[in-house]
Amino acid sequence: MIVGIIGLGLMGGSLGLELQDKKIAKKVIGVDHNISHCEEALSLGLIQEISTLNEIKKCDVIFLTIPVDAIIKSLISLKDVGKKTTIIDFGSTKKRIVDATPKEIEKNFIAAHPMCGTEKYGPSAAIKGLYDHRTVVLCNTERNDELHKKRAIEIFEKLNMNIYYMDADEHDKHAAFISHLPHAISYSLANAVMSQEDPKSILAMAAGGFKDMSRIAKSSPKMWSDVFKQNKENILSSIDIFEKELNKAKELIQHENWEALEIWMQKATTLHKII
């Protein structure tokens, strides 16, 4: 089959590599609003041909690996594709995207979220194996034609991904905790340090803990501000719950209740027994 990818950064570029490497696609073509990204993706072998939106519409499968607001705009532009063209998005939010899908392509559109990525972006960030043994969540597949559902499942299975099914509302509530909240915390931590009088001296001491927690603060601000906007209520709810836990730690430290603090920390360590 011929596959088109709209968005040639980390996710789209890595997908292009895998589609070719695993011989899932006969041909991979791509388009990106940034012309230099198109040229770079072609030179890196992420795609085999630079295309246009009109040409992409003729593909058997179209992947949308772009920011979530752009996904909604692209779906409107794609509402005239043929009934046999499968459209799959990789957005980090699902409810707003599912609700905004034009009726004309509702049966074609597979709402997917691969739970993977790095803090890097752009074509040069693309890597082989990004999707290997990672989770992909498919939402509201009951509304899809069997052709498109089967095709999407087949592609994700060939990418060696673990497939889970959820309602879009459920997905967004869960994603707020395990994906969106960590980014909010990471950006906050980075800004807390940068607001100090001499951040360079502080960062000179940075070791594993700080680097691990601040790493994702290097992620695309444009992409993540769109995610926060689309999943606003769930993110605010997760931040409220996180603040309660942080305030609990603050209170225990203020009152020098070290035994209770240790118990509080011990409870947190049980998380890794279920991961």
Q: What local confidence, expressed as pLDDT, does residue 208 receive?
A: 75
Q: Helix-strand-coil percent breakdown of the chain, rounded to 5?
A: 55, 15, 30
Same domain, yes or no, for 21 and 147?
Answer: yes
Same domain, yes or no, for 116 and 26?
Answer: yes
Question: What is the spatial order of strands in the sheet that 86-89 belongs to?
Answer: 49-50, 27-31, 2-6, 61-64, 86-89, 109-114, 135-139, 162-166
Give the residue from 128, 150, 166 where a domain finishes. 166
Structure-model confidence comparison of residues 237 and 199, the more confident one:
237
82-106 pLDDT, tens per residue? 999 999 999 999 999 999 999 999 9
188-234 pLDDT, tens per residue? 999 999 898 888 888 878 777 888 888 889 888 989 999 999 999 99
Same domain, yes or no, for 234 and 268?
Answer: yes
Res. 64 pLDDT band, cuts 50 70 90? very high
Q: Which residues pair with 112 in a beta bridge?
A: 138
Length of the chain in terms of residues written: 275
Identify which of 185, 209, 176, 179 has the alpha carbon closest to the alpha carbon of residue 116. Answer: 179
pTM score of the predicted model: 0.90
Same domain, yes or no, for 181 and 252?
Answer: yes
CATH number at residue 229: 1.10.3660.10
Phi-psi sector, 257: left (phi>0), alpha (psi -120 to 50), beta: beta
Identify which of 35, 98, 29, 95 has the alpha carbon closest to the alpha carbon of residue 62. Answer: 29
Q: By the 8 A CB rule, do 52 and 30 touch?
A: no
Range of the domain at 190: 171-273
Same domain, yes or no, for 117 and 242?
Answer: no
Give the residue from 141, 166, 191 where a domain finishes. 166
Give the whole-angstrom CA distance, residue 152 versus residue 148. Answer: 6
Output the 3-class SS for 70-91.
HHHHHHHHCCCCCCCCEEEECC
Same domain, yes or no, for 43 and 137?
Answer: yes
Same domain, yes or no, for 121 and 198?
Answer: no
Give the residue from 138, 166, 194 where a domain finishes. 166
Same domain, yes or no, for 161 and 175?
Answer: no
